[in-house]
Structure 1
């Protein structure tokens, strides 16, 4: 059995700035006690001869290879732009002094 007491739960409530009534303190004491006990059980099962893993099965890269494909021409890329300047998109300046 762990050492979660109603006084500890009240103290944690104060630290978290959560007002807890007596019913909540009683319920949370039991719930936190069960959580701490379960964590302790997991700690007992874990052994040093079992390597740590991040995934239960081996992972591999699933990305496709980069291949050069058809690209848009400058005219195609700019054809629906609200404003363009030759080979570039024209946008509103974002710095205060440059805005008009």
Structure 2
């Protein structure tokens, strides 16, 4: 494969990641990214026909419970703790910046 990681690519990635890289770090990043792309190309050579697509290695089940109200309407009880109340809502002193 032709290495598509060039100086412009490294410069662009550095800008996106807000990194200031030395020349040595840029060269190392170029080599690392090139190796990653080579590995991905190698993986694409594998025959995956007959392999079912999946989103997770293990089967995933929804573990959430049904959303059921268990404590009911306790508005009056809760509003007793408010410093003030108006139309069923807490009234608090205003705050300013």
TM-score, reference length from structure 2: 0.64
Correspondence for 2:2: 3
Q: Say whether the 8 Å CA contact 2:10–2:29 is kept in structure 1.
A: no
Larger Rg: 1
Counterparts in 2 of 1:67 and 1:31: CA distance versus 1, 3 Å: closer
Structure 2: segments with no counterpart, 5+ residues: none
What are the Cα deviations for residues 34-70 of structure 1, in whole angstroms up to 9, with x where unaligned?
A: 1011111221225232121111122222122344423
Structure 1: segments with no counterpart, 5+ residues: 94-100
TM-score, reference length from structure 1: 0.62
Q: CA RMSD in A?
A: 2.9
